Amino acid sequence: MSGKLKNEDFEEFQRRIRRGGSEVDESKNLFFKAMESKIKWTICSVSYEYLGDYLGLGFEVTLNALLDNWDSQKGKTFYSYFDNYVSRRIKAKIYKDIYKKTEISLDGLTTPSGEDESHTDNDFVKDYRELTPKETYEASLLAEELEETFYALNSKIQTILIDHYSYDKKTRQIGDELGISHSQVVRKKNQQGSDALQRLKNVIENFFEAQHLEYDEKIARKALESFLIKWSNANECST
């Protein structure tokens, strides 16, 4: 097989791998070679430094999508299915995996107003702990409030914030995806986006005050993580 594959080629991969036997390894290798550049590009869109760490995960997610989710009879090529669904799933898994080692992408949201926002990744790793059942429940309540506030925003602002802060996309790329100019993206991010981030930060602070709780950054981070993953998954399913 050479060049861009057709749906029939991916259907053949499905049949051979599902059937098992001596053809499985060869079929997996051919499938990986066909999708390797797309998988690498997806990982590098998060960060080049993660390419070696997550190439195996990217292939596993892509292979599972081929075997368990993609249906050629629904009209989408596998390449299109990857671009609209699988690539987002890979990114979501990478972000979830690195969450415990790095700061959450929407900088400053989990630091109360008036407090020092400067802390290192090592500080966060050292201080991380699993939440108790009660704290997990509190984080789920906060995630619901964040979701309600976020979904009240203009859909373009939602996309700009997630793509810029979570996926680290350039404003020109975001503009191309939304069908608006680079300058419009910058203006919306700087004006409406800043207001939106402040509203989300207020939700976090007001939640702890209303619940008569001491501010707990780990609960806030867990709520934000849960909300971001849920948003990503919802948008995967809607494409």
d(CA 48, CA 223): 27
Residue 167 above 80 pLDDT? no
- The reported pLDDT for the residue numbered 237 is 46
How much is the pLDDT for 169?
79
The pTM of the whole model exceeds 0.75:
no
DSSP the chain: --SSPPHHHHHHHHHHHHH-STTHHHHHHHHHHHHHHHHHHHHHHH-GGGHHHHHHHHHHHHHHIIIII--GGGS--HHHHIIIIIHHHHHHHHHHHHTTTS--SSTTTTS-TTS-----HHHHHHH--PPPHHHHHHHHHHHHHHHHHHHTS-HHHHHHHIIIIIS---HHHHHHHHTS-HHHHHHHIIIIIHHHHHHHHHHHHHHHHHTT----HHHHHHHHHHHHHHHHHHHHHT-
Question: Given its phi and psi angles, is residue 168 left (phi above 0), alpha (psi -120 to 50 degrees) or beta?
Answer: left
Q: pLDDT digits over 126-148, tens only?
A: 333 467 888 888 888 888 898 88
In the prediction, which pLDDT does 112 show?
A: 53
pLDDT at 101: 45
- In this predicted structure, the answer to whether residue 115 has a pLDDT above a threshold of 70 is no
Distances in Å between the Cα of 236 and the Cα atoms of 73, 133, 189, 192, 203 are 19, 29, 23, 25, 26
For residue 177, the model assigns a pLDDT of 85
Residue 110 confidence (pLDDT)? 53
- CA pair distance 19, 156, nearest whole angstrom: 44
Q: Is the pLDDT of residue 184 over 70?
A: yes
pLDDT tens-digit map of 36-68: 999 988 888 776 666 788 889 999 999 999 998
